[in-house]
A and B are shown apart, each in its own frame.
Chain A
Amino acid sequence: MLRTTLAGLRAHRLRLLLTGLAITLGVAFVSGTFVLTDMMGASVSRQLAGSADRFDVIVLPGESEEGAERTEDPAIPADVLAEVGAVPGVAAAAGEIVAQTPLLDADGRAIGFMPTYGVSLPADPELLRYPVVEGTVPTADDEVALDTGTAEDTGFAVGDRVEVLDADQERHGFTVTGLIDLGANAMAAIGGGVGFAPATAERMAGGGDFAEIHVLGAGGDPAELRDAVAAALGGGYEVVTGAERAAALVEASGGDNQVLAIGLLLFALVALFVAGLVIYNTFTILVAQRTRELALLRCVGAERAQVFGAVLLEAAVVGLLASAVGVAAGIGLGAGGYAALSAVQGDTPIAPVIGWHTVLVGLVAGTVVTVVAALLPARRATTIAPVAALRSQPETDEGRRAGAVRIGLAALFAAGGTALTWYGIVLGTGGTLEPGMLLVAAGGIVSFLGVLAIGPNLVAGLVRLLGWAPARLLGVPTRLAVANTRRNPRRAATTTVALTVGVTLITLFAVVTASLRASYDQALEDRYPVDVLAQPQMSAEGAIPREVAAGLRADPAVRSVVEVRSAEARLDGTEQRVAALDGAELADIATGAVAGDPAGLGPGTVAVAEDVAAAEGLSVGDTVALDGGGGTGELTVVAVLEPMDLPVPGVVLAGTDFDRYFGADHPAERLLVSSADREDSSAAEAAVSGALAELPAIQVQTVDVMRQEMTAALDQLLLVMAGLVGLAVVIALFGIANTLTLSVVERTRESAMLRALGLTRGQLRRMLLVEAVLISVIGALIGVVLGVVFGWAAVVTAFTSTMSGEVLTTVPAGQIGVFLAVAALAGVLASVLPARRAARDSVVAALAGE
């Protein structure tokens, strides 16, 4: 039996190839993901470890929880370095200063979403923990090194003059002497970084405290040195060996990588599922076509179990071979993808990392999916009666009605899916996000199973509906194609549904991104008009003197300026950020009130955000005690506010009260500026930038640009998703080509007869083309409907409670039209090879051939 199966496989290499390709692609995705994320992990680990294990001992601030570098304030006093240096066995030691030192762009404004961090770089190369990529380490007072990523983002190069703000926001000019990879520094890795000579760093940071101290020993055992240093310093510091620190850093860095791996593997899973559908269909057709061959085996004495085994064995062999090719391709893809990424990011290339899980998971997943997909076809093969060897009627299952089981199952899945989704929406809109989203996802999967169950009826109905007009208008080939598609609804349904998976996901993402965009735009339309925002960088403090707003209010390009002033205070004993909005009424700015009236805000009263009210147990009419810097007092709550679109703290006072508690000259933290010219805010932007010329740490952004950035980010997100789902679509296309090719083989004599009756080659090709397009468009249509429904469910669940303002579910008709057009075009492509094959056959040979 084994020999027969293997001989059969050898004899049908094309069949093997067609079957295996789908699985190869799916497995390549899985192993590629592993290789890519392993390499990224290895690269990060190497960098982090390299930055720590070069030292014998590292001293970290005491009560650090997450790792010393994450605490914002260096917590090792400068004089500790001298104590460490005096410990016997210490050859050299250097402290690292880390401080916010925003790098300015050519216009003199702080660069980036977050401020850059300044890091001290010791002159002794033995004590330098970062690799120098280009140039030299700064030594003089007016020299600076840039992080490679920061240089890439800003375009600054060695030799350029740059300006950097110190801790007091004073500008200092520097010459760039080198590019250094600061990636091992957690702060600089996020916001970008600059490096200074130690003395310069101390001056810029406004103090000599260290984030960590790096120690090189005189050659003794690092552990002994660690203990000696710890003993010398007494308690209060964490003293570890370099190797221990390296291991801790590597362990802590695994998380991000794992999230990426899981995300990619989810898409790989979708691709494998689609591949499974394709395999299932292919094997079903192959079994049907080999009815006589299998019946012959039964005639000569093969048992049912042997026939079953033969089909499964074929699946296992195909699965294993295809998976092996897939693993090899995946390793190539992963390594290539990493090379491309590291080239873009300017990282040093590393050798491919091939873990055992890459090979093993790829092989096992591919083989198991193939064998499982072949189970049902194999079972069907066992029901072939030996006498079938003697008949030669090509089977069709047209006219077979859907069984009650099928319909019952579909109804059950549909009901279950609807219930899960509905409950998920209820939870999500009620604010219980994660369980809600999970339920909606589960509802989507269950509903999809329902579609799978009812597929043959659904597809047959849609073929009838969609094929009706073309069949009557577009001539014989189209009519034959429609009839062919209906001939075997189960086959058509499985082929179709494979494509549906990908289209559903892409449509879902399109609906979510379009809805986000529309809701965001609507929120901008509805709210208090702000065209230009002036605010500090993220995680930085800003202070805009009150004269700035006063000056801007006199500028003709500016229509209005709202100053957001805020300060820390104690509200009924708890720390809260309280604010005043000068230049506008709260009622105009607030999105809405849950209770009370924002218009009632005046001296002696306060408005609180919903979350603050909930946390503090406040409601309208309550009085609260406020303890500000300049005094204390009692305030009455006049309104509980809905979440606001604008960046405003959760406790709002009247301006006069704020003056009383914190002083009238307390600076604003941000300005909300509206332009006199509603169409073009560039004049207002120029006015704001000019007014803030002496405050380089404050960023000036126009809402138009923010909106464009948001749109671009959403578009990019959709594109990435489409790319990830794309492979599932490609596999589904192979499925269509596969089914068509096998159908062409099956219908060889039929096609020859049509050719004899006068159907031209072109008409025969057109017939197959229409079949393929019909299948793809129907698959895509089902996907669009599912995607819109579940996109809507996801939007409502995820955003109703989290977005301020109304959530607008938007169906991007244009994008969906593009998806359908692409599906139709893909159908055309899928038909090319099968159609060529069909048209190539000689009429006489096909008529004679068995």
Chain B
Amino acid sequence: MDLPTRTGPDPAPVRPAPDPGPSAAPAVSARRLVKTYGSGEAAVRALDGVDVDFAAGAFTAIMGPSGSGKSTLMHCLAGLDTVTSGSVLLGGTELTGLSDKRLTRLRRDRVGFVFQSFNLLPTLTAEQNILLPLDIAGRRVDRARFEGVVATVGLADRLSHRPAQLSGGQQQRVAVARALVARPEVVFADEPTGNLDSRSGAEVLGFLRESVRTLGQTIVMVTHDPVAASYADRVVFLRDGAFVDELSGPTAESVLDRLKRLES
């Protein structure tokens, strides 16, 4: 399964990944999660009773056809959106019913994000962008961590650049560094390679997986690209707003195969 896309820099010295063990509590879990948009006749059930767990210290991909609700699921799990019913537990905290203020704090202190585009503030340098969540939280910067993350994503010589002076791949690496530097409990990535060429995409995915292996980071990634999903430890499949299948130790072929079966 040596894919041509996996050409990222060689992983740093491999440490054994911390074993979450079967008994460890999941980092994020959803129970009977329902999300409807609109009301009455026009109501759309984007999520229709999703039950799913995401293991701590693991890299999980969420896949599904367009309209399957994968982005909505991520938004609900990350505290970006409210749910209609059911529950979301993030590291033992029940998100449903939290006020906007508490959800904001939770995102600030415990969650990291990588979006498809418009990740960075054009007015700030790469370094300021990376440190933005810590700044907002008013937390002290762990310089060792910062330098480690920056070295890992290969941005040491780009820190004083503005986003406009960086390539798309470099911008996404800044976003990954930003998501990792604050040691969040979970990093949510929404199509992080959707706007990148395959080489840059492979680099970004490589970093994400590396952070799981070496730092024990928990990552939940939404993607529609089987190759991207193949970097994950496990793939969760949605269809019509419901959990339908999962796959451990995925390869691009096995993911594609499963998707075809779902769509048929």
Contact = CB atoms under 8 A, between A and B. Distances in A.
A756 B123 CA distance: 18
B123 A763 contact: no
Contacts of A484: 123
Interface string A370-409: 0000000000000000000000011010110000000000
Given A483-B123, A484-B123, A486-B123, A756 B118 contact: no
A396 B135 contact: no
Closest 3 CB pairs of A and B: A758-B108, A483-B123, A749-B118
Given A483-B123, A483-B124, A844-B81, A757 B133 contact: yes
Interface string A718-758: 00000000000000000000000000000001100111111
21 contacts: A393-B164, A396-B164, A398-B123, A475-B138, A476-B135, A480-B121, A487-B122, A749-B118, A753-B113, A753-B115, A753-B119, A754-B136, A757-B113, A757-B133, A758-B109, A758-B136, A759-B104, A759-B108, A761-B100, A761-B101, A763-B136
A760 B101 contact: yes
Interface string B131-145: 011011110000000
Contact of B104 (A394, A399, A760, A847): A760
Interface of A: 393-394, 396, 398-399, 475-476, 479-480, 483-484, 486-487, 749-750, 753-761, 763, 842-844, 847-848
B101 A756 contact: no
B107 interface: yes
Contacts of B123: 396, 398, 480, 483-484, 486-487
Contact of B80 (A479, A487, A756): A756
B122 A759 contact: no
A754 B113 contact: no
Given A480-B121, A844-B75, A847-B115, A756 B100 contact: no
Interface centre among A393, A486, A847 (most CB of B within 10 A): A847
Contacts of A754: 121, 136
Contacts of A756: 78, 80, 107, 113, 115
A757 B108 contact: yes
Given A480-B123, A483-B124, A844-B81, A753 B118 contact: yes
Given A758-B107, A761-B100, A763-B136, A394 B122 contact: yes
Nearest to A760: B104
Contact of A759 (B124, B136, B162): B136
B105 interface: yes
Interface of B: 71, 75, 78, 80-81, 100-101, 104-105, 107-109, 113, 115, 118-119, 121-124, 132-133, 135-138, 162, 164
A774 to B, nearest CB: 14
A847 B222 CA distance: 15
A476 B121 CA distance: 13
Nearest to A759: B136
Contacts of A398: 122-123, 162
A479 B162 CA distance: 16
A451 to B, nearest CB: 25
A275 to B, nearest CB: 30
A393 B165 CA distance: 13
Contacts of A479: 135
A396 B121 CA distance: 12
A480 B108 CA distance: 16
B137 A758 contact: yes
A757 B80 contact: no
Given A753-B119, A756-B80, A760-B104, 13 more contacts: A396-B123, A396-B164, A398-B162, A480-B121, A480-B123, A487-B122, A750-B121, A753-B113, A754-B136, A755-B104, A758-B104, A843-B80, A844-B81
A755 to B, nearest CB: 7
Nearest to B116: A847
Nearest to B137: A758
B124 A757 contact: no
Contacts of A763: 136
Contacts of A750: 118, 121-122
A396 B163 CA distance: 11
A752 to B, nearest CB: 8
Interface centre among A396, A475, A844, A848 (most CB of B within 10 A): A844
B180 to A, nearest CB: 13
Contact of B133 (A393, A399, A486, A758): A758
A388 to B, nearest CB: 16
A753 B114 CA distance: 10
B136 A757 contact: yes
A565 B164 CA distance: 85
Interface centre among A394, A398, A479, A843 (most CB of B within 10 A): A843
A758 B108 CA distance: 4
A597 to B, nearest CB: 72
Interface centre among B81, B105, B136 (most CB of A within 10 A): B136
B17 to A, nearest CB: 27
A318 to B, nearest CB: 30
